[in-house]
């Protein structure tokens, strides 16, 4: 047990003393890049063209929702579905989020989740305001 | 000490993968965003803050629209254009959407060619992106002019229905248009720097990807505005 802990302690101190891996990596790739591609997001062009096509199709479909006057529950459902599909494709592929490390993905994608609370509170609040206006100002629908 | 440590990198454990990498990257006294250009991480943080700004606009729009007792103007009819004697709903907005998506596509290709160090293609694709952006802004200017001059929409009222319509519309699309305009300038500057070979010395074309992130974000915001303001 003590031996094990010693090992961990040693490793931690050594890691702390050692130069950071990231600058080393950058330096090495900067040297390498004279001949090969620089580091960074490198993916085949076909992926982008495919996503481009999907985005066109999804936009056309969400436009057709309006063009054919889809009503009822189906309308918001379709609009939101196409919206999130498009947003997901843009963030994941065009903005390369799919290939980033989890530390960055979570730092960017988790904070917006708290917006759900804001939206929920404001939905309750607007409902209250609507009925207050309807009942007390008599300008009902 | 420095002499020994510089060679002493072989026995460091490789960085963990998966969920453990998340804990490891955030927990120790070190660089959190490994293998990520600093500028790129900061651009992401900026875009995160911008997400909150636009979310506040869209949430207040939701609140106003849901709480008004006056009927909301139908955007499908307000933004219709008469082409060939027949009104086509939302056609200008649809064209603007396709233009912005195309600009996102050319930008993604520009980033790709930048990493391949193909300066000519990168410059041309970035200029094409900026051109799409400029045409988007001019169509928006046309849309605003039509709404203000012909329909009489003002931030404080309009003849079509709920007075909140104008303030929401001008605030949300105006702020988005400002982002597009800034993006056009930003992309033109980076494109001219790429063309002049400013990044050849270091061989580091991450700046193009950072500019691309900003541009894709502008497109991303439009996806939400298109769905929530125009289609809803």
Range from A42-46, B2-6, B168-172 carrying the lowest mean pLDDT: B2-6
The reply to whether A47 and A1 lie within a common domain is no
Instruction: List the CATH number of the domain containing B128.
Output: 1.20.120.80
Query: Is A3 part of any domain?
Result: yes
In chain B, residues with a C-beta closer than 8 Å to the C-beta of A38 are 115, 117, 203-206
Q: What integer pLDDT is reported at residue B80 of this predicted model?
A: 85
Alpha-carbon distance values, A135 to A121, A138, B153, B175, B177 (Å): 21, 6, 29, 35, 39
Task: List pLDDT tens digits, range B177-197.
Answer: 999 999 999 999 999 999 999
Q: Which of A90, A100, A130 sits opposite B104 (nearest CB)?
A: A90
Q: Which of B8, B69, B97 sits opposite A14 (nearest CB)?
A: B8
Residues 35-74 of A with CB under 8 A from B: 37-43, 45, 48-49, 51-52, 55-56, 59, 62-63, 65-67
Q: What integer pLDDT is reported at residue B11 of this predicted model?
A: 63
| Residue B6 binned pLDDT confidence (cut-offs 50, 70, 90) | very low
Q: What integer pLDDT is reported at residue B18 of this predicted model?
A: 85
Tally of structural domains, chain B: 1
The reply to whether A74 and A94 lie within a common domain is yes
Q: What integer pLDDT is reported at residue A7 of this predicted model?
A: 57
Query: Is B9 part of any domain?
Result: no
What is the DSSP track for B117-151?
T-HHHHHHHHHHHHHHHHHHHHHHHHHHHIIIIIS
DSSP structure class, residue B67: H
The conformational region for residue B190 under phi > 0 = left, psi -120 to 50 = alpha, else beta, is alpha
Q: What integer pLDDT is reported at residue B23 of this predicted model?
A: 82
Half-sphere CA count of B40, side-chain side, radius 13 A = 24
Q: What integer pLDDT is reported at residue B148 of this predicted model?
A: 93
pLDDT of residue B78 exceeding 90: no
Yes or no, beta carbons of A126 and B44 under 8 Å apart: no
Yes or no, beta carbons of A18 and B9 under 8 Å apart: yes
- ipTM surpassing 0.95: no
Query: Is B2 part of any domain?
Result: no
The reply to whether A58 and A80 lie within a common domain is yes
Half-sphere CA count of A30, side-chain side, radius 13 A = 14
Q: What integer pLDDT is reported at residue A9 of this predicted model?
A: 52
Q: What integer pLDDT is reported at residue A56 of this predicted model?
A: 95
Mean pLDDT for the stretch of residues B128-156: 93
Query: Is A37 part of any domain?
Result: no
The reply to whether A83 and A59 lie within a common domain is yes
pLDDT by position in tens, chain A (length 141): 444 555 555 555 555 454 444 444 444 444 443 333 445 678 888 899 999 999 999 999 999 998 888 888 999 999 999 999 999 999 999 999 999 889 899 999 999 999 999 999 999 999 999 999 999 887 555
The reply to whether A52 and A95 lie within a common domain is yes
In chain A, residues with a C-beta closer than 8 Å to the C-beta of B102 are 52
Query: Is A131 part of any domain?
Result: yes
Share of chain B above pLDDT 70, in %: 94
Q: Report which of residues A56 and B37 the model is more confident about.
A: A56
Instruction: Tell me whether strands B86-88 and B81-83 are parallel, antiparallel or unpaired.
Output: antiparallel
| Residue B227 binned pLDDT confidence (cut-offs 50, 70, 90) | very high
Query: Is B15 part of any domain?
Result: no
Share of chain B above pLDDT 90, in %: 62
Q: What integer pLDDT is reported at residue A93 of this predicted model?
A: 93
| Residue B202 binned pLDDT confidence (cut-offs 50, 70, 90) | confident
The reply to whether A46 and A28 lie within a common domain is no
Task: List pLDDT tens digits, range B82-133.
Answer: 888 888 888 899 999 999 999 999 999 999 999 999 999 999 999 999 999 9
Query: Is B178 part of any domain?
Result: yes
Mean pLDDT for the stretch of residues B131-144: 95
Tally of structural domains, chain A: 3
pLDDT of residue B222 exceeding 80: yes
**Residue with token string 């929409």:** B153
The reply to whether A65 and A20 lie within a common domain is no
Mean pLDDT for the stretch of residues B19-29: 80
CB-based contacts of B174: which residues, under 8 Å, 6+ apart? Answer: none
pLDDT of residue B31 exceeding 80: no
The reply to whether A81 and A50 lie within a common domain is yes
A31: contact with B, CB 8 A cutoff: no
Domain extent, residue A80, equals: 42-100
Query: Is A56 part of any domain?
Result: yes
Query: Is A105 part of any domain?
Result: no
Domain extent, residue B139, equals: 37-231
């Amino acid at each position: 047990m003590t031996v094990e802990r010693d090992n961990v302690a040693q490793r931690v101190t050594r890691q702390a003393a050692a130069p950071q891996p990231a600058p080393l990596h950058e330096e090495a790739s900067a040297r390498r890049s004279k001949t090969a591609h620089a580091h960074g997001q490198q993916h085949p062009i076909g992926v982008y063209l495919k996503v481009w096509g999907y985005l066109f199709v999804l936009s056309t479909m969400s436009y057709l929702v309006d063009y054919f006057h889809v009503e009822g529950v189906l309308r918001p459902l379709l609009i939101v579905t196409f919206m999130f599909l498009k947003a997901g494709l843009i963030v994941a592929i065009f903005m390369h989020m799919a290939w980033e490390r989890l530390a960055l993905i979570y730092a960017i994608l988790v904070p917006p989740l708290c917006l759900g609370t804001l939206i929920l509170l404001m939905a309750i609040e607007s409902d209250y305001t609507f009925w207050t206006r309807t009942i007390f100002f008599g300008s009902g629908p | 000490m420095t002499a020994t440590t510089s060679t002493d990198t072989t026995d460091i454990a490789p960085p963990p993968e998966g969920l453990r990498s998340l804990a490891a990257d955030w927990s120790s006294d070190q660089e959190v965003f490994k293998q990520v250009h600093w500028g790129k991480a900061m651009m992401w943080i900026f875009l995160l803050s911008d997400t909150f700004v636009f979310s506040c606009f869209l949430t207040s729009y939701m609140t106003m629209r849901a709480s008004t007792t006056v009927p909301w103007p139908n955007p499908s009819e307000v933004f219709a254009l008469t082409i060939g004697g027949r009104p086509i709903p939302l056609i200008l907005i649809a064209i603007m959407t396709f233009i912005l998506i195309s600009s996102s596509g050319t930008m993604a290709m520009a980033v790709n060619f930048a990493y391949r160090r193909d300066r000519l293609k990168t410059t041309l694709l970035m200029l094409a992106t900026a051109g799409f952006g400029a045409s988007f802004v001019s169509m928006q200017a046309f849309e605003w002019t039509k709404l203000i001059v012909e329909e009489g929409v003002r931030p404080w009222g309009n003849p079509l229905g709920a007075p909140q319509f104008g303030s929401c519309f001008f605030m949300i699309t105006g702020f988005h248009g400002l982002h597009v305009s800034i993006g056009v300038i930003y992309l033109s500057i980076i494109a001219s720097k790429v063309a002049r070979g400013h990044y050849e010395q270091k061989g580091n074309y991450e700046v193009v990807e950072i500019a691309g992130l900003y541009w894709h974000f502008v497109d991303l915001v439009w996806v939400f505005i298109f769905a929530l303001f125009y289609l809803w």
